[in-house]
Chain A
Amino acid sequence: MAVLEVRDLGKRFDTLQVLHGINFSLEKGEALAIIGSSGSGKTTLLRCLNFLEKPDEGTIIVNNKVIFDAMDPSTQKESEVRKKRLHFGLVFQNFNLFPQYTVLKNVTLAAELLAKERPDYKQNKKAVLEEIQENGRRLLAQVGLSDKLNFYPHQISGGQQQRVAIARALALNPDILCFDEPTSALDPELTGEVLKVIRNLAERNTTMIIVTHEMGFAKDVADRIIFMDDGVIVEQGTPEEIFGNPREERTRQFLARYNEGR
């Protein structure tokens, strides 16, 4: 069953068409990598899924429910967008950790705020908060940061910050975890630790969309690859198909350019 279905998604910035006729679906437990050169629309696509940008065309369907339809204003109510966002988690290129909170608090803050909306919050306050804390500690252990719980973001390395950001995104238990070039802002020697965490998530069958420039990593970890160029999906397929035997000329050119640079 498809967790996510995107149909005919389009997005313009003024007159510039940045996404056009985007169609794809994502199965539960699948890891999808989106590759393509800068400016091809990969990041905008992720931002549309997370409601940071509003698509001009198309529909987004999660768990067989239409959560966005460009033609139907009733699916675009500001008040519901917040809840709909929770289907997705997003890990940013620049981490965007909250600088004034400790590592642990970064991971638990959103869950604590959401818990306040629960009707039984007042009676079980202590137990609920304890559970959130416990979950936060577990996730930080999972990304290998148990010894940094009480550090502030500026006290840890970029790679560690990004791992905190991953734990933070996981804390709300999203259906689909999105990565927007998660290693692009990192020094080369720090990318490994972040990729390892993502690989680990893939092995646990986390449903993921990864926008990345790390071709080797995409090939290894993704179940499926989408190649984008100029706002359209040029080609999609298994890693073997895309990297071993691309059908489209544009894909070939892109991969050739990429290999030249190595």
Chain B
Amino acid sequence: MNQVPVIISRLSESFLINCRLFVLTLLFSLPLGLLIAFGSMCRFKPLRWLVRTFVWVIRGTPLMLQLIIIFFGPGLIGMSVSWPNGDAGRFTAATVAFVINYACYFSEIYRGGIESVPKGQYEAGQVLGMTKRQIFFKVTLLQVIKRIIPPVGNEVMTLVKDTSLARIIANKEIIMMAGEYSSKGLIWPLFATGVYFLIFIGVLTVLFDYLEKKLSYFRA
């Protein structure tokens, strides 16, 4: 029975990989998504279609497949620069795949949010002599944020659980770790991983509820 603390500590350690992947993915995909959103709304048609096709491909294929392609792809097509060896390379490849994938999903949420702000808000800013920048930052941004908090919350919670897909390119995250025990006939660690995810999601739920409340002082 004294192997329980050992297993718990190894699960916790491997969950740190999920957490790191989670944080890094958000850190890069949230801003990148905005860039992609602007691209998909661009008035220059070729760029708009290029971006929208890219989003279609990324959203249209499984993240698991993207992980494999991004990790093995460079080597397969004979690129000289490949991922670093070992854990670092696998983790970097996973991060890149997650960032691209989530940025595309976020971009569509942003686009929906931006386009849902009534035209009258832009026009009111315009006739008051505001610049496009001022209209975006001072008038529409907060309204967009208020509108997109629920769908972004959804996406962020999905990301927590998606991080375990990184095991497909041998990142030793929590489910892979638990899987090693279950393949030896010890099944409870696999069930225990659920608790980690539940707690994480619980914290996020509280956080997003708080944000929603914080912005409930106005109606948009």
B218 touches A152 (CB 8 A): yes
B128-A154 in contact (CB<8A): no
A96 and B219 in contact, given A109-B138, A110-B129, A172-B128 (Cβ under 8 angstroms): no
Q: Give bound CA distance, A151 to B126, whole Å.
A: 24
> Once the chains bind, are B219 and A154 in contact (CB under 8 Å)?
yes
Size band of the A side of the interface?
20 to 34
Contact indicator B127/A90 (Cβ below 8 Å): yes
Q: Which of B111-129 contact A (CB under 8 A)?
A: 118, 120-121, 123-129
Please state if B138 and A94 are interface contacts (CB–CB under 8 Å). no
Chain B: number of interface residues, binned into ranges: 20 to 34
Partner of A92 from B124, B139, B142 at Cβ < 8 Å: B124
Which B residues, 181 to 202, have Cβ-Cβ distances below 8 Å to chain A? none
Q: Chain B: interface secondary structure?
A: helix
Q: Judging by beta carbons under 8 Å apart, are B127 and A52 in contact?
A: yes
Residues from 118 to 161 in A contacting B, C-beta threshold 8 Å? 152-154
* CB neighbours of B125 from chain A (8 A): 110
Q: B142 and A100: CB pair below 8 A?
A: yes
User: Which residue from B120, B130, B146 sits with its C-beta under 8 Å from A113?
Assistant: B130
A85 contacts the other chain (Cβ, under 8 Å)?
yes
Least CB distance from B182 to A in Å reads 51
* A contact residues around B219 at 8 Å (CB): 99, 152-154
Return the chain A residue nearest B215 by Cβ. A100
The one of B118, B130, B131, B220 in contact with A100, judged by C-beta atoms closer than 8 angstroms, is: B220
Binding site for B on A (CB under 8 A): 50-52, 82-83, 85-86, 88-90, 92, 94, 96-101, 109-110, 113-114, 152-154, 168-169, 172
